[in-house]
Amino acid sequence: MHVVLLGQYPPHIGGVSSHTYLLSQELKKRGDEVYVLTYPHPNVKDLDGVKVETSFAPNIKGLRGLFFLISSMFKLISMVRHYNIDIIHAHFLLPPGLIGVVVGKIMGKKTVVTAHGSDLLIQADKPILRPLIKFVLNNTDYVLVVNNTLKDMALELGVNPEKVHVTVNAIDTVKFNPQNKDFPSDIQLSQNKPIILFVGNLVFQKGVKYLLEAKKLMKYDAELVIVGDGPLRHELEKKADEEEIGDVLFVGARRDVDKIMPCVDLFVLPSVSEGFPITILEALASGLPVVATNAGGVKEVMDESVGLMVEPSKPDELARAMDKILEDRELREVMSTAARKHSIKYVKLDIPY
């Protein structure tokens, strides 16, 4: 079978990109030919036997998605014809899902859409986008969601239950493992303090402002490393500086997270909304205890054996949970062992087509 994946893919960084890469490799293992159409990036190239192409989309705020929508439809039609594509699999409902469904109808091809989180949690609540999302969901052949919360939301929008499948994210446990210790030399940290790690986009949904407030409330002396970039970075850096929240280091988006994770002591995800967080899987595979908020699919990927869950937007609860794990070395070691074991459950993706 010839499959084209549409949406984020390496060298883009993020959870969706990690997911689509692992999916492409699973498809290849079962004998499929895999092609990718992704957003523009200066370092786009074919990767591990997968043909990767891009379409035109200038990096202009508010217009990138529109240009990608239009140019990708023409590009995808060309790829379907040239590579004799059987299935179009779009990741994220808008714009990739809309592109995939429209082209699928034009070309008479089966389509699959995967909802990863904010497309149903946030976009579907916007009156101008809700009709488009319902159109995508009701006109595709398969609707894949990464947790049961998203499944319920899709069903509320009137999707046929028979075509909705929960397919949780997976993790490369060879790449992410406790022995993979090679902390980047360009990140300068204190040598005698435990390290707390956050990895993710610096957007409102990730709740990083609550993490900074929790850091200020903590009793245990630790260093916080924030890996990621996004529209709120300047505001968050300013908050840390003006409120004199010490030992906080912003290091931007990085491609060596697998080298960083095994070298730290605790992973924190303070999201206010979430899909099925790949970063938690990566942290667990790296042997890290986790403190996370009970948002979206978080409760489906972790339990009290591997970390602590608190309510979203509650910096005091977040601070107490981080203190509890960092103060208790024995608890940390038990959770670390359990984390690695727990992650092994997520080594393979379920592909329902």
Q: In the chain, what are the domains?
A: 2-166 (3.40.50.2000), 195-346 (3.40.50.2000)
Are the beta carbons of 189 and 167 closer than 8 angstroms?
A: no
The answer to whether the bond into 184 is cis (omega within 30° of 0) is no
Torsion of CA 215, 305, 345, 262, to 10 degrees: 40
In this structure, the number of other CB atoms found within 10 A of the CB of residue 286 comes to 30
Q: Over its length of 353 residues, how does the chain's per-residue pLDDT go in tens digits? A: 999 999 999 999 999 999 999 999 999 999 999 999 999 999 999 999 999 999 988 777 777 778 889 999 999 999 999 999 999 999 999 999 999 999 999 999 999 999 999 899 888 889 999 999 999 999 999 999 999 999 999 999 999 999 999 999 999 999 999 999 899 999 988 778 999 999 999 999 999 999 999 999 999 999 999 999 999 999 999 999 999 999 999 999 999 999 999 999 999 999 999 999 999 999 999 999 999 999 989 999 999 999 999 999 999 999 999 999 999 999 999 999 999 999 999 998 999 99
3-state secondary structure of 350: coil
The answer to whether the bond into 127 is cis (omega within 30° of 0) is no
pLDDT, position 89: 98
Q: Are strands 87-91 and 51-54 parallel, antiparallel or unpaired?
A: unpaired
pLDDT, position 59: 76
In this structure, the number of other CB atoms found within 10 A of the CB of residue 57 comes to 19
By the 10 Å C-beta count (0-12 exposed, 13-18 middle, 19+ buried), 252 is classed as: exposed
- d(Cα 253, Cα 11) in Å, to the nearest integer? 12
Give this prediction's pTM: 0.93
292 - beta bridge partners? 269, 309
pLDDT, position 190: 76
The H or E element containing residue 248 is strand 248-252
Beta strands in 169-236 (DSSP E): 195-199, 223-227
The pair phi, psi for residue 336, each rounded to 5°, is -60, -45
By the 10 Å C-beta count (0-12 exposed, 13-18 middle, 19+ buried), 208 is classed as: buried
pLDDT, position 191: 74
Query: How far from 256 is each of 151, 174, 252, CA to CA, in Å?
Result: 32, 14, 11
Counted residue by residue, the chain has a size of: 353
Question: What number of H helices and E strands is found in the chain?
Answer: 13, 13
- d(Cα 199, Cα 202) in Å, to the nearest integer? 9
The pair phi, psi for residue 65, each rounded to 5°, is -65, -40
Query: How far from 204 is each of 183, 271, 273, 319, CA to CA, in Å?
Result: 28, 8, 9, 19
The pair phi, psi for residue 50, each rounded to 5°, is -110, 125
Q: Are strands 51-54 and 223-227 parallel, antiparallel or unpaired?
A: unpaired
Nearest to 230 by CA among 199, 257, 261, 259: 199
* Axis crossing angle, helix 208-217 with helix 233-242, rounded to the nearest 10: 20
3-state secondary structure of 233: helix
Question: Which single residue is written with the structure tokens 């990138």?
Answer: 64
Non-local (6+) Cβ contacts of 325 within 8 A are: 266, 289, 291, 307, 308, 331, 332, 335
3-state secondary structure of 213: helix
